[in-house]
Amino acid sequence: MANINLEDMNSMQFDVLKEIGNIGAGNATSALAQLLNIKIDMSVPNVALLPFKQVTQSIGTEEDVVVGILITLDGDVNGMMMFLMDLKSAHHLVNLLMGADVNKQDEFSEIELSALNEVGNIISGAYLSSLSTLTGLSIISSIPSTTIDMAGALLSVPAIEFGKIGDQVLLIQTQFGENDLVKGFFLLVPELDSYNKILSSLGL
C-alpha cells in the first residue's frame, strides 16, 4: 500500500498524479468541446503542493471575480472537484450554449446559471469517469453547485478541507482554453486517504 506523505512525495507519485490530471481534464475538455462544437486546447497539468497563502495566486488574485462549480466526491475517493472560470469565459460559454449573442455580458439569468451548472455536471462527469476507469475505484459525485464570487472566497472551501490534514494543498490543475475565449481551471482535491487509494490502485 502506497503511503503518501504530502511533504515528501517522490517524482514517480508526482508524475502519476500529473497523468491523472491529464487524462481527466482531457476527457472533460473534449466533452466540453463536443457540447459547444468548438475546438478547445488544454495545458499540461500542473501538480503542485502549495501553502494556503499561494493557492489563489496559482489562479489569479484573491479578489478576481470568478465562476466556481463545486462537486463533492464520495465512494472510494472522497474529496472535491472544482472547476473555475473567469466571468468572461463563463459568459462566452453560456452564450454559445444558449445561442445568444456571443458578446452578451449581462448578469446571469436563472436559466444561464442552470446551464453553467449543467456544464459543470458534464465536464466533471467526464473527468471523474475517466479517473474511475483508470483506477477501478468507484467515485460518486454530488450534484454541482455554482457560485460567482471572489476567487479567494471560493477556494477557501477546498483549502479548509485540506486544512484539516495539513498546511498545504495538493492541486492537480489544468488550464484549458479556446483562442482565449474560454479559459478555466480544473482542481481535483482528494482527501489524503484517497490519494493513497488512487496511487495504490495504480500499483504504486
Q: Which of 12, 41, 53, 109 binds other proteins (CB under 8 A)?
A: 53
By CB under 8 A, residue 202 contacts other proteins: no
Return the closest-CA partner of residue 44 out of 154, 178, 155, 186: 186
Minimum CB distance to other proteins smaller for 66 or for 93: 66
Applying CB under 8 A, which of residues 151, 172, 182, 189 lies at the interface with other proteins?
A: 151
- Nearer to other proteins by Cβ, of 49 and 157: the residue is 157
Q: Residue 83 has which C-alpha cell?
A: 472547476
The answer to whether residues 154 and 68 touch, using CB atoms and an 8 Å cutoff, is: yes
Query: What are the φ/ψ torsions at residue 33 (nearest 5 degrees)?
Result: -65, -40
Residue at grid coordinates 467515485: 139
Does residue 128 bind other proteins (CB under 8 A)? no
Residue from 28, 42, 70, 123 that binds other proteins (CB under 8 A)?
70
The nearest distance, CB 63 to other proteins, in angstroms, is 5
One of 68, 120, 184, 190 touching other proteins (CB under 8 A)? 68
Return residues touching other proteins (CB under 8 A).
Answer: 52-53, 55-56, 61-63, 65, 68, 70, 72, 74, 78, 80, 142-143, 145, 147-157, 159-161, 163-167
